[in-house]
Amino acid sequence: MNALDELMNEARQQEIDPPARGFHLDRREFLKTLGGGLLVSLAPARQFAQESGRRWQEHELPTELSAWIHIGADGQVKVFTGKVEVGQNIRTSLAQLVAEELHTPFESIAMVMGDTDLTPWDMGTFGSRTTPTMGPQLRNMASAAREKLIQTAAARWNADASSLTAADGKVTNPDTKQSLTYGELTRGEELVENVPGDPPLTPAAAWKIAGTPMRKVNGRDFVTGKHQFPSDVVRPEMLFGKVLRPQGYHGSLVSVDTAEAEKVPTAKIVRDGDFIGVVAGDLHSAEQALAAIHANWTVPPQISNVELFATLKKGSSSEVSRPEFASGSVPQAYAAAEVKLNQHYTVQYIAHTPLEPRAAVAEWKDDKLTVWTGTQRPFGVRDELCEAFHLPAKKVRVIHPDMGSGYGGKHTGEAAVEAARLARAAGKPVKVIWTREEEFTWAYFRPAGYIEVRSGARRDGTLMSWEFHNYNSGPAAIQTLYNVPNQLVQFHSADSPLRQGSYRSLAATANHFAREVHMSEIAFALGLDSLQFRLKNLTDPRLRAVFQAAADKFRWGRSRPEDGHGFGIAGGFDKGDYVAACVEVEVTDEKKIKLVRVVEAWECGAIVNPDGLRNQVMGACVQAIGGAMFEAIQFKDGRILNPHLAEYRVPRFSDLPEIEVVLIDRKDLPSSGAGETGLVALAPAISNAVFAASGVRLRSMPMAPAIQIPGDEPPRFQS
Amino acid sequence: MAEFLLHVNGEEFHVRGFADESLLFALRDRLNLTGTKYGCGEGQCGACTVLLNGKATHSCLTPLSSAVGAQITTIEGLERHEVLTPVQEAFLEEGAYQCGYCTSGMILSATALLHDIPHPSDEQIVEHMNGNVCRCGTYPRIMAAIRRAAAPAGKGASL
């Protein structure tokens, strides 16, 4: 796959549906009704072109050094990237890579990130792309900068550049013992140099700064409360804004009375078609005024969880599905198989629930709009703002202060557009922070999915036939790495009843859940050990290695579970990452599932920052517990029935098993991104462990919800 | 609107606000102490935790008027003359955060815990900290940080 195809494929999987209530409207109406939100879908290039008036292929990355790196007269290095820091620790790991190639102390590097006026254009921070794409980009620039500094010194000393060395932020002439710091060489001026090709890079085996464990660079700002998140930004004379929401998806405004709201001191009602918002001098007054608006909406009847999977299984009314992969003859091989299995698996919608909800501060000054907001796509949000207010790109600046995370849930700029609209009407800067209920209701969800798997094997454990259909949840990691001569693997898009989009690891979680639970089901039917059956049908050495590493650490096959306990294993591959997990669960007499122990083995090429990586993989295991065990969105008639943390359970300290992370460092392989794939092995490993402990096979995520999800079977277990 | 006298981080503030507005947004918007975070507004996530007379309290559920007379400690009040408390130090040393949005609340909850129980068991840590959510899933490192802060005998968290 060439780079463009890869980007297209990535973009396709990150696509986010337009907000549900906008579907049937034309663009003008769409703009008016969305609480100010206009959503520019990422993705297919042509569509993106129509949406934003700009083709993203035209965003060629600058080749000038000065666009990426600036060295001040004091030797301080500023590095510019459109990527954003959301807790994945790239502010630290990218700085390590630059320090490594530039031959300068790590402490001299400051990353300038996600500011559309200062940093080169970037499509967004998603798909685990920062390490494999921005990493090499910045390494190239740093290497070229180092070469340029050496040449500058050579010219100044009238020396042969090849005889000079660069280390520790200085260029030295070993013969004359002369030495100049980088700051003395640049005198703070721009490094004017085009970097056309691939300058030589330091191989990972020789890394001294990259490849070593580094804590988050600005950690002190977080333990002292000094770090300013998007919701913490304050501007002079700033007002506080709220937006009136419909009583359900696809709601139409019938009547509205704002008389009482207008009496709230300092409050001002902003109305623009169906968009109704409030600004006030303080948040409390804005909330009071919003509550005093009397609006009537009609909301059409809509389906609930009960009809969800039947709806998804119907497939899309507009898109034609085609196989992602096909080989051999599945019908013949399935018919001839000695052992057959035909099962289906489901996953519910879940919410990202970033602890910091959507937030934005907008300020109009001299015809220029500046918005501070939390988003994974600052340039995408800039495009949304340009479109919403008919502005050229140079009149809009989006600044991303490192935010309270997103997990794929903040690709869009709803709060940014709302704050900008209110600020323009108020003539003053306005801050909008979504409530938790708004975040649960008016953002978007991880897609629900229905997955069918039919497989056939020989009695000796050789897989012969594999048929896999995913309805709606997505094509990420849909292909199996196991060797099967006859395959049909297909993703079927569907008409999702809820607005859905990207989520950390996308559909790789659902596809691994179905595939890896199914693999253990066949192993059981064949009377084979789950690990041995997998290895028998697997040649990929990197996946074999993580399975083996997890199994060794866990003592798979060498220790036996206590009574009431069970062991499960699962693994897979996505986005250049290989992962395998072994899990021990206890199923109590009260039918409660307790996670006892998790060993997760991980390999993503050369490790840039082992400390950050360990934190990511461990965090992914913890976050995965939620979707595996209890997270589920309940909905009916265009409303979310559990839009609060009291009703939507997320993992807490008490859910924590013992977790061991085993990292395999392949210095001979390029580094891939590690933000996502750590999630995918946990749920199937838990399901397999529960089966081992209890004989009950769980094929629906979440596996142990606190209450029965309408349409699902009553939960067999609690957690 | 009325005036309320608040004692925050050892200082007195005359705050103009509403009796029924939350202490959380009074701190954030009226005193510009933005280290205290909004996460849910329903006392379920702990991001808004402050200390009221040393006790970990959800500022999102605390009306401004009821905070009058209490000694309020926010995350900004822990560091003294650029010296961090043992809990802050331990969070730094363990790298006990990812995005860091929950960190203020975690540190204040842990501070209250170690004040009451200088050497808590893991069960006590879990029980006390369970109202604080870290969506990035950094719980194992937060546990380690709390154990580390508790470790030196007689050197529990000080306020």
Q: Indicate the length of chain A as a whole number.
A: 719
- Element of type H or E holding A162: none
Residues of B in Cβ contact (< 8 Å) with A229: 34, 37, 101
Residue of A nearest to B25 (CA): A283
Q: What is the DSSP string of A355-409?
A: SS--EEEEEEETTEEEEEE--S-HHHHHHHHHHHHT--GGGEEEE----S--TT-
pLDDT of residue A28: 35
Nearest C-alpha of chain A: how many angstroms from B107?
Answer: 7
Question: Which residue, among A58, A114, A60, has the nearest Cα to A86 in the 3D structure?
Answer: A114
pLDDT of residue A12: 60
pLDDT tens-digit readout, B52-100: 999 999 999 999 999 999 999 999 999 999 999 999 999 999 999 999 9
Residue in A222, A284, A654 closest to B126 by CB: A654
Residue in A87, A355, A402 closest to B39 by CB: A355
Residue in B84, B99, B135 closest to A650 by CB: B135
- Reported pTM: 0.94
pLDDT tens-digit readout, A47-101: 332 333 334 456 778 989 999 999 999 999 999 999 999 999 999 999 999 999 9
For chain A, give every domain's residue range: 65-223, 314-350+445-701
Mutate to test the interface with B, among A222, A353, A644, A679 (most CBs of B within 10 A): A222
- Do the domains at A65-223 and A314-350+445-701 have one common CATH topology? yes
pLDDT of residue A34: 33
pLDDT of residue A406: 97
SS3 label, residue A715: coil
B125 and A653 in contact by Cβ < 8 A?
yes
Among A185-189, A507-511, A619-623, B143-147, where is mean pLDDT lowest? A185-189
Residue listed under structure tokens 């359900």: A248
What the block records as the tokens of A78 is 């500023």
Q: What angle in degrees, to the nearest 10, is found between the helix axes of A378-389 and A414-426?
A: 40
pLDDT tens-digit readout, A277-323: 999 999 999 999 999 999 999 999 999 999 999 999 998 888 888 89
Nearest C-alpha of chain A: how many angstroms from B153?
Answer: 23
Choices 3.40.50.620, 2.120.10.80, 3.30.830.10, 3.10.20.30: CATH for B2-77: 3.10.20.30
Q: How far apart are CA B56 and CA B49, in angstroms?
A: 6
Q: What would the CATH number be for the domain defined by B86-150?
A: 1.10.150.120
Residue listed under structure tokens 């008036």: A53
Nearest C-alpha of chain A: how many angstroms from B88?
Answer: 6
Q: What is the DSSP string of A14-74?
A: T--PPPGGGTTS-HHHHHHHSTT---PPP-THHHHHHHHSS-GGG-PPP-BGGGTEEE-TT
Residue in B34, B102, B137 closest to A622 by CB: B137
- Element of type H or E holding A620: helix A610-629
Q: Indicate the length of chain B as a whole number.
A: 159
Residues of A in Cβ contact (< 8 Å) with B104: 225
Q: Does B126 touch chain A (CB under 8 A)?
A: yes
Q: Would you say A641 and A632 are in contact if contact means Cβ atoms under 8 Å apart?
A: no
pLDDT of residue A8: 56
pLDDT of residue A198: 82
Question: CA A436 → CA A320, A351, A355, distances in Å?
Answer: 37, 11, 9
Q: How far apart are CA A330 and CA A280, in angstroms?
A: 64
Mean pLDDT of B34-42: 98
Mutate to test the interface with A, among B101, B104, B107, B108 (most CBs of A within 10 A): B101
pLDDT of residue A45: 30
- Which residues belong to CATH 3.10.20.30 in chain B? 2-77
pLDDT tens-digit readout, A451-489: 999 999 999 999 999 999 999 999 999 999 999 999 999
- Which residues belong to CATH 1.10.150.120 in chain B? 86-150
More confident residue, A182 or A15: A182
pLDDT tens-digit readout, A224-247: 999 999 999 999 999 999 999 999
Residue of B nearest to A85 (CA): B99
Q: What would the CATH number be for the domain defined by A65-223?
A: 3.30.365.10
Model confidence at A274, pLDDT cuts 50, 70, 90, reads: confident
- Element of type H or E holding A410: none
Q: How far apart are CA A138 and CA A143, in angstroms?
A: 8
Mean pLDDT of A113-120: 97
Q: Does B141 touch chain A (CB under 8 A)?
A: yes
ipTM: 0.96
Residues of B in Cβ contact (< 8 Å) with A88: 98
Q: What would the CATH number be for the domain defined by A314-350+445-701?
A: 3.30.365.10
Is the per-residue pLDDT at A192 higher than 90? no
pLDDT of residue A646: 97
What is the count of residue pairs from A and B with beta carbons less than 8 Å apart? 175
B37 and A356 in contact by Cβ < 8 A?
yes
CA B22 to chain centroid:
16
Question: CA A30 → CA A23, A112, A561, A682, B88, distances in Å?
Answer: 8, 35, 57, 40, 48
Q: How far apart are CA A167 and CA A159, in angstroms?
A: 17
